[in-house]
Amino acid sequence: MSQLVQLQRPTNAKPRKVYFVSLGCPKNQVDTEVMLGVVGQGGHALVDDPEQADTLVVNTCGFIEEAKEESIDAILELAQAKAAGAAAGHAKQLVVTGCLSQRYSDELAAEMPEVDHFLGSADMQGLARVLQGGAPRLAVSALDRRSYLYDHTTARQVTGRRHSAYVKIGEGCDRPCAFCIIPKLRGPQRSRTVESLALEVEQLVAGGTREVCLVTQDLTTYGTDLPDRPTLETLLERLVQIDGLEWIRLHYAFPTTVTDGLIRQIASEPRIATYLDVPIQHVDTQVLKRMRRGYTEKVVRRMVARLRAAPGHIFLRTTMLVGHPGETDEAFARLRDFVAEGEIDHLGVFPWSREEGTVSAMQPGRVDEAVAQARQAEIMTLQEGIRAAEHARWIGRELTVMIDGESTESEFLLDGRHEGQAPQIDGKVIVTDGTATPGDMRSAWVTQTSAFDLVATLDPSRLEQLEP
């Protein structure tokens, strides 16, 4: 782990051993890293085994049903570890944080007596009081404009290899999307200042970071809530000046606010990865209207055309939601035809989940769950075939690869990524030879491909061994 600020242990703190489980999206990952900073700043110790811990923490996700089930399973698993510890005379406390406890704090408190403390999605600093002792069992803050937002002074500890890190440029969302519970879980949009973000990135780079992935619910409305109203383009102009930074990666943009200026920056600025994550969700205009997305199929197609008209190739990642109320066979066919055009580089598809408290949950015209799952499988199979065919044309191509470290496939291989692959999301480049340190940038030549991953060599002479 790397740390952003010097952690000092208070002389009156009683050290605790803390075990973490972090679930959900990259935004949740950053929240966990802030809580890790709280642990270190308080003089406590992180452990990798729940049996060794006296405090068990799970940072939950409550976005969709599948994520909620995963969170409940993790809580119950840690509750078993707590019970086993008690039976062995080793008392443990169980702490549940994040979106699930933000959403269902009263219900969880009533149904899970084994949980000692509940913290919400804006209560990362509240973990300090829990570890010190004396915190109330239910300490979930209301989400209003005073909600917590970390900054460059926060004692955050970055997990994993330090050469790549997520940076959350804001919190919350003001969009009225019918299917989404995020505004109720995370509150309204709150942007960090340009200078705070620049200082954090400078600290990260000083600690060895070479790639930062900017993340918030809607990057492209960044700054609209700040007095001087900076834009994402303004922020990028500042960040590209930081020496030692190789790639700035962008998650998540909204289709209607992807400006021509932003596209030009991505296409022309070497330190901005030629990559844009834009959750399109659907292309059928009537479904988009039901989703309350505020745009039409024409707007989606125009945005994609502008990306494709830019010099070079901007890798487009998106997500699609199938089975939303009102998605007819004809509407799904429009989505399938759009995907078949092959303009999407990376695609995630999710069946609609009925989430209480959302507008979609009350809409008529529901799609049978089995039909939604079949539509998901059909789109993903279609996309897999498209990407497999496209990647096959990459054999012999030279790529600049950021090395992530020893491969998960074998200790004799290296894992890396090209500019169009986000960490742990979009596949990888498996390097079959040579040595390198995580964060190194290397030229590699593609020798084999699949729909998701590429195999490459650092020795171009090996291309001669490939079958014609």
CATH of the domain at 408: 2.40.50.140
The answer as to whether 5 is a domain residue is: no
Helices (H), 105-245: 105-111, 127-132, 182-186, 194-206, 232-239
Distance of CA 264 to the CA centre of its chain: 24
d(CA 117, CA 26): 24
d(CA 247, CA 244): 10
Of 109, 139, 169, which residue sits at a domain end? 139
Q: How confident is the model at residue 3 (pLDDT cuts 50, 70, 90)?
A: very low
pLDDT confidence of residue 141 = 87
CATH at residue 59:
3.40.50.12160
Give the structural domain span for 225. 157-392
Q: Are 191 and 225 in contact (CB under 8 A)?
A: yes
CATH at residue 267:
3.80.30.20
pLDDT confidence of residue 9 = 40
Lowest mean pLDDT among 3-7, 70-74, 414-418: 3-7
pLDDT in tens, 337-358: 999 999 999 999 999 999 989 9
The reply to whether 402 and 350 lie within a common domain is no
For the four alpha carbons of 267, 271, 274 and 276, in that order, the dihedral sign comes to: negative
d(CA 320, CA 386): 16
The answer as to whether 1 is a domain residue is: no
The reply to whether 308 and 406 lie within a common domain is no
d(CA 320, CA 387): 16
Number of domains in the chain: 3
Residue 13, pLDDT > 60, answer no
Q: How confident is the model at residue 320 (pLDDT cuts 50, 70, 90)?
A: very high
Segment of 46-55, 57-66, 143-152 carrying the highest mean pLDDT: 46-55
d(CA 321, CA 327): 10
pLDDT in tens, 118-134: 999 999 999 999 999 98
CB neighbour class for 319 (10 Å; exposed up to 12, middle 13-18, buried from 19):
middle
Of 366, 392, 418, which residue sits at a domain end? 392
Rounded mean pLDDT of the chain?
93
Residue 10, pLDDT > 70, answer no
The reply to whether 120 and 182 lie within a common domain is no
Of 369, 392, 415, which residue sits at a domain end? 392
Q: Identify the DSSP state of 210.
A: -
pLDDT in tens, 247-302: 999 999 999 999 999 999 999 999 999 999 999 999 999 999 999 999 999 999 99
pLDDT confidence of residue 1 = 38
Residue 220, pLDDT > 90, answer yes
The reply to whether 202 and 318 lie within a common domain is yes
The answer as to whether 147 is a domain residue is: no
Q: What is the pTM of this model?
A: 0.92
Distance of CA 146 to the CA centre of its chain: 24
Distances (CA, A) of 288 to 313, 333, 335, 373: 27, 14, 11, 19
The reply to whether 251 and 335 lie within a common domain is yes
Residue 14: both structure tokens together: 């009683």
pLDDT confidence of residue 269 = 98
The answer as to whether 7 is a domain residue is: no
The answer as to whether 186 is a domain residue is: yes
Q: Are 243 and 198 in contact (CB under 8 A)?
A: no
Identify the three-state secondary structure at position 70.
helix
d(CA 105, CA 99): 10
Output the DSSP codes for 429-440.
Answer: EEE-S----TT-
Q: How confident is the model at residue 5 (pLDDT cuts 50, 70, 90)?
A: very low
The reply to whether 192 and 220 lie within a common domain is yes
Q: How confident is the model at residue 145 (pLDDT cuts 50, 70, 90)?
A: low
